[in-house]
Copies of this chain bind each other. A is one copy, B any other.
């Protein structure tokens, strides 16, 4: 669709980043990926993707070990690692940001997660994206997508429209917005309830969570508190939207949230991006969020335990 081939670099090549990059590649973009953990496998075989039962294959145009190995100027650098405090996003991409035309495309969960990149690269367009996707990596070089996919891209008009067109042409339900923050709050209502509580309740499914009992009420409390904070930022999340989120979770009873999957696998949890940042926004705004504070304290401790155990191995 472009006269010139779109040049993409993917940094933080987890399931989400690889899936979206594969769509761009399929649509004619030249996609190179920085892959460290599974560098060998991916260099040799590319990625095998089970996309809702359909077998797909994605061979990147290059498999790099770091941003420094990238040659030339990228149109877009897709940045999609897990949202963890120890992952320094500017450092991850710095060596490949060589021109102010290069747009940074951040695809991560959470709220208030753009600051680091915005401060490090003030002259580059920053496209902050909210993805609805349930993709996992069952093995190195392998992806499993089991659900519907939606992507909202927020950023300056020109690069946003260009990226959205590419995704749409690749069959993705994608739209562009001026400001991503409201979209993040709406997504956060889901994330903040089901992700932490599914872990704190002992690693349960969404069905066990939304059992019309105590844990479901707890999810509702977290949603109400989140909506109260969002309201202070001018974003309205009506009660029926919260109720619909509970319904939707109930309707996929066997679903394990990404945070439960990380918890059960002993991996670090996205505590700060989802809960910590939200609690800090609430504190700064003077909104009382006792339930959220409680879940934050517990999840932070669980994560610390988890990391300690992982170190011992």
With beta carbons under 8 angstroms apart, the residue of B197, B290, B293 that contacts A298 is: B197
* A residues 245-295 touching B (CB-CB < 8 Å): 290-291, 293-295
A199–chain B nearest beta-carbon distance, Å: 10
A147 to chain B, nearest CB (A): 25
A215-B290 CB under 8 A given contacts A200-B200, A202-B306, A203-B305: no
Q: Could you say which interface size class chain A belongs to?
A: 20 to 34
Q: In the bound complex, do residue A302 and residue B201 qualify as a contact, i.e. CB atoms below 8 Å apart? A: yes
Shortest CB–CB separation between residue A304 and chain B, in angstroms? 8
Docked Cα-Cα span, A73 to B17, in Å, equals: 75
Q: Is A244 an interface residue (CB 8 A)?
A: no
Interface mask (A185-225 → B, CB under 8 Å = 1, otherwise 0): 00000000000010011111000100001110110010000
Q: Could you tell me the distance in whole angstroms from the C-beta of A59 to the nearest C-beta in chain B?
A: 42
Which residues of chain B come closer than 8 Å to A298, judged between CB atoms? 197, 200-202, 215, 218, 298
A297 on interface, CB distance cutoff 8 Å? yes
6 further A-B contacts with Cβ under 8 Å, apart from A208-B301, A217-B297, A298-B298, are A201-B297, A201-B305, A202-B305, A203-B305, A214-B301, A294-B295
Can you list 10 A-B contacts with CB-CB less than 8 angstroms, sorted by A residue number? A204-B301, A208-B301, A214-B300, A215-B300, A215-B301, A217-B293, A218-B293, A221-B293, A290-B294, A294-B295
